[in-house]
Amino acid sequence: MTAPEVGNGRFQPRRRMRNVLGQLFRALFLLATCVGLAVLLVLLVDVLRTGAAHVSWDFVTAYPSRFAERAGIWAALIGSLWILGFTALFSFPLGIATAIWLEEYAPRGWLTRTIQTNIANLAAVPSIVYGILGLAVFVRWLEMGRSVLAGSLTLTLLILPVMIIAGQEAIRAVPNSIRLASYALGATRWQTVSRQVLPMAMPGILTGTILALSRAVGETAPLIIIGALAFVPFVPNGPLDSFTVLPIQIFNWVSRPQPEFHDIAAAAILVLLGVLLTFNLIAILLRNRYTQRS
Amino acid sequence: MGDDFDRRRADDLVSPAGDRAAGPASETLDEPGPGPAGREQSGAGRSHPQAPVASGAPAAGRGTDEPRTVRPPISLTAPTRRRVQEALIGGTLFLGSAVSVLTTIGIIGVLLVEASSFFAEVSPWEFLTGTRWAPLFVPQSFGVLPLLAGSLLVAAGAAIVALPIGLASAIYLSEYAAPRVRAIIKPALEVLAGIPTVVYGFFALTFVTPLLQGIWPQTQIFNALSASLVVGIMIIPLVASLSEDAMNAVPGTLREGAYALGATKLEVSVRTVLPAALSGIVASFILAISRAIGETMIVAIAAGATPNLTLNPLESVQTMTAYIVQVSMGEVSFGTVEYQTIFAVGLTLFAITLLMNIVSIFVLRRFREVYE
């Protein structure tokens, strides 16, 4: 009866049990965290093991074929680059303009709030719905057909919300003292934005842009909906040509029952992951260069 | 000493620096005319950096001759070139923002218009309650329930995988992990989130399904379980990162208070931080499930193309998204009922995910614990 009484006197600290429980759950939480990483590792090893033997220069430069051993990804790879280029061309100015307007120009009120909520909602709309929108508006209504132009416009709408949100965060991170100093020197709003805020926010904007674009490169469903073809034995020569992209080529090969096509699908996945990796490296390098200059 | 001090102050008063600071201000106070002109001068200073310094004369000198030679005084009410320019730029930027609004209007408009011509031929009642989906066969049948059940089955499986694992990862990253460990694990999870879904589909079909067939030999090649496991893996990063953000936002004083009462780390995490961050965690759960329902490529590759009203995850099912892909891959001619099913199913999908997003925003706003 030397222990101090707490409450009704039946308080038992049970320290040992609680500590054991604590250790147990600590291990459990760590284990759960490792599940995701372990699957990532297994996935990469699986793709490498299946596909690495099939990646060759011939595979990259050959056109699709009915025979797995002769098939290649040239048309899909070039198609992906076309889509990427046009999507970047459309989405970058639009995304940046919207981010600037929302952060620097928009009056505080219901209109701005509505637009902001709307963008948050759009970011969570399934990508396939954008495909349906693209099919009805770009392919049918504006009569662009199943072209590079229709595809990249669809993907532009898809990645815009992500780009806008990333751009807004970058612009918001610029300290307000910079703006005040600029205004105090007699600069107009646009001079302040274009000469002070944007250069400082650029690294963040570029990173967000490139991450959004790499999402566009990996996107499959919307392009299938607007009717990108699975078998394209030529590369596009202009924005109104039909096209295919790497993910659709992969989907096409995975969907076939023969295991040989699964092997070359894995090889194509390796190329796709390689493209995405290059992209992220460029993002990091670009960001470093900008950070040093400003 | 005293003399030096006084002279220095006197110098300061007439030095160019003093001029720049005090000159224009006093002018505007004295007489309205040259005041705005002084402002104009500072604008012109950009092209002639020497001008204000070179004059070097007392403030009165500048007010008399220079503005007349540079530019006429600005009127503060009439629009100038600069103001017109500013308004144009603001307007252009606003047009950019309008695109996002137009996108929403476009999505809703397209889905409603095209779906309404579908519902002119098929009654909404039949669509919503029918238990057989066979629009591409004769006799046609348009009951969306099998597709809906497929989507929900896959999403439920994905939630069983992703919610506990994602939440546990969030607790570990936010409460337990050392900064160095965090710096490795977080980017790795982001890589997981950046992998294209078609790659996950390949993984589900060629790796997970054979694994499942080893355990349950009756597993069909295309089955709901494989797809939902992999969709679950795909949404782990979403749950983990959003929940972790919510837990990070809980102030440290709450944790310190719990520790002071003798709680262990586990008790602090689960009984103090978790309830405080609950609104953010629930919102992340809802968003993740909505993402699972909208996921397309994994289910199109691994779950199959057989509309199937079943609860057995080892059978092949077809989700709403996989159906839309199937129709788009085939040659369905424009304007037919088969073509319009895309929009009816798309509208159903959009309505479900939109509802879930709105609920998650509501949960976030309504149940958020606000700390100072």
- Ranges of beta strands (E only) in chain B are 133-134, 141-142
Distance of CA A206 to the CA centre of its chain: 13
Q: Which residue has the higher pLDDT, A242 or A101?
A: A101
Angle (CA) A216-B235-A281 rounded to 5° is 45
Residue B77, token pair as written in the block: 């009410």
Contacting A residues, span 235-274, partner chain B, CB-CB under 8 Å: 247, 250-251, 254-255, 262, 265-266, 269, 272-273
Smallest Cβ–Cβ distance between B202 and the set A93, A135, A265 belongs to: A265
Q: In angstroms, rounded to a whole number, what is the distance separating the alpha carbons of residues B3 and B282?
A: 74
Cα-only R_g, chain B: 34
Of B267, B342, B358, the CB nearest to A132: B342
Q: Which of A207-211, A221-225, B72-76 has the lowest mean pLDDT?
A: B72-76
Instruction: Give the closest residue to B80 by CA, choosing from A123, A19, A218, A188.
Output: A188
User: What residue has token string 């460029």?
Assistant: A282
- Local structure of residue B250 (DSSP, 8 states): S
Phi/psi at A147 (5° precision): -105, 170
Burial class (CB in 10 A: 0-12, 13-18, 19+), B78: exposed
Pairwise CB contact (< 8 Å): A36 & B192: yes
Instruction: Please judge whether B262 and A40 are an interchain contact, meaning their C-beta atoms are less than 8 angstroms apart.
Output: no
A32 to chain B: closest CA residue:
B165
Q: What are phi and psi of A239, to 5 degrees?
A: -65, -15
Chain-chain contact of B165 with A36 (C-beta, under 8 angstroms) = yes
Backbone angles phi, psi at B367, to 5 degrees: -105, 15
Residues of chain A contacting residue B354, judged by C-beta atoms under 8 Å apart = 121, 125
Render B67-109 in DSSP notation, one character per residue: HHHH-PPPPSSS--HHHHHHHHHHHHHHHHHHHHHHHHHHHHH
Chain A residues 178-237 within an 8 A CB cutoff of chain B: 186, 188-190, 211, 214-215, 217-221, 224-225, 227, 230
Q: Which residues partner with B142 through β-bridges?
A: B133
The span from the CA of B172 to the CA of A33, in Å, is 7
Residue pointed to by tokens 């990469």: A44
Work out the angle at residue B345's Cα, subtended by the Cα atoms of residues B342 and B347, and round it to the nearest 5 degrees: 105
Counting every residue, how long is chain B?
Answer: 372
B195/A contact by beta carbon, under 8 A = yes
Beta bridge pairs of residue A242: A147
Q: Would you say how long chain A is, in residues?
A: 294
Residue B11 reports pLDDT greater than 90 = no
Does the pLDDT value for residue B79 go beyond 60? Answer: yes
Q: How far apart, in Å, are the Cα atoms of A118 and each of B102, B289, B320, B358?
A: 10, 20, 24, 11
The larger pLDDT score, comparing residue A174 to residue B188, is at A174
Task: Quote the tokens at residue B277.
Answer: 């961050």
Distance from CA of A253 to the nearest CA of B (A): 10
Contact B100 A119 (CB under 8 A): yes
Using an 8 Å Cβ cutoff, are B283 and B186 in contact? no
pTM, whole model, 2 decimals?
A: 0.82
The model's pLDDT over A54-78, given as tens digits with 9 standing for 90+, comes to 888 888 888 888 787 788 899 999 9
First to last CA, chain B: 54
Q: Which of A215, A272, A270 is nearest to A248 (CA)?
A: A272
Give the largest Cα separation in chain B, rounded. 109
Helices B320-329 and B337-366, axial angle in degrees (round to 10): 150
Residues 63-82 of A with CB under 8 A from B: none
More confident residue, B69 or B267: B267
> Distance (Å, rounded) from C-alpha A86 to C-alpha A78?
13
Q: Does A93 touch chain B (CB under 8 A)?
A: yes
Per-residue pLDDT tens digits for B122-143: 889 989 988 888 887 778 888 8
Residues from chain A that touch B36, judged by Cβ atoms under 8 A, are none
Measured in angstroms, the CA of A293 and the nearest CA of chain B are apart by: 23
Sign of CA dihedral A49, A54, A57, A63: negative
**Amino acid making up residue B203:** F
pLDDT bracket for residue B233 (50, 70, 90) = very high
Which residues in chain B (81-120) have CB-CB distances under 8 A to chain A? 82, 85-86, 89-90, 92-97, 99-101, 103-104, 106-107, 110-111, 114
Ordered DSSP codes for A93-115: HHHHHHHHIIIIIPPSSHHHHHH
Question: Which is more confidently placed, B165 or B312?
Answer: B165
Which residues of B, range 245-264, sit inside 8 Å of A by Cβ?
262, 264
Predicted ipTM of the assembly = 0.90
How many Å apart are CA A33 and CA B90, to the nearest integer? 46
Token pair of B222 as six digits: 């295309």
Q: Please name which of B106, B128, B132 lies closest in space to residue B118, comparing C-alpha atoms.
A: B128
Answer yes or no: are the C-beta atoms of A45 and A238 closer than 8 Å.
no
pLDDT tens profile A142-176: 988 889 999 999 999 999 999 999 999 999 999 99
B335-344: per-residue pLDDT in tens?
788 889 999 9
When CB atoms are compared, the residue of B89, B185, B346 closest to A33 is B185
What residue type is assigned to position B148 of the chain? L
Per-residue pLDDT, averaged over B292-304, amounts to: 93
Mutate to test the interface with B, among A21, A94, A111, A128 (most CBs of B within 10 A): A128
Neighbours of B244 (CB within 10 A): 27
- Residue A48, chain B, CB below 8 Å: the answer is no
Angstroms from B366 CA to nearest CA on chain A: 16
- Surface-to-core class of residue A60, CB atoms within 10 Å of its CB (0-12 exposed, 13-18 middle, 19+ buried): middle
Quick one: pLDDT at residue A266? Answer: 94
Tokens describing residue B52: 């204000």
CA dist B320 and B326 (Å) reads 10
- Residues whose CB falls within 8 Å of the CB of residue A62, separated by 6 or more in sequence, listed in order: A70, A71, A72, A73, A74
Radius of gyration of chain A (CA): 26
Q: How many C-beta atoms lie closer than 10 Å to residue B76's C-beta? A: 9
Check the CA dihedral A186-A192-A195-A199 and report its sign. positive
Residue whose structure tokens are 């040509």: A241
Task: Name the token pair of B60.
Answer: 């009165």
Query: Mean per-residue pLDDT for A235-242?
Result: 85
Residues in B touching A94 (Cβ below 8 Å) = 96, 99
DSSP A147: B
> Residue B192 — pLDDT band, cuts 50, 70, 90?
confident
Residue B78 is predicted with a pLDDT of 59
What mean pLDDT value characterizes chain A?
88
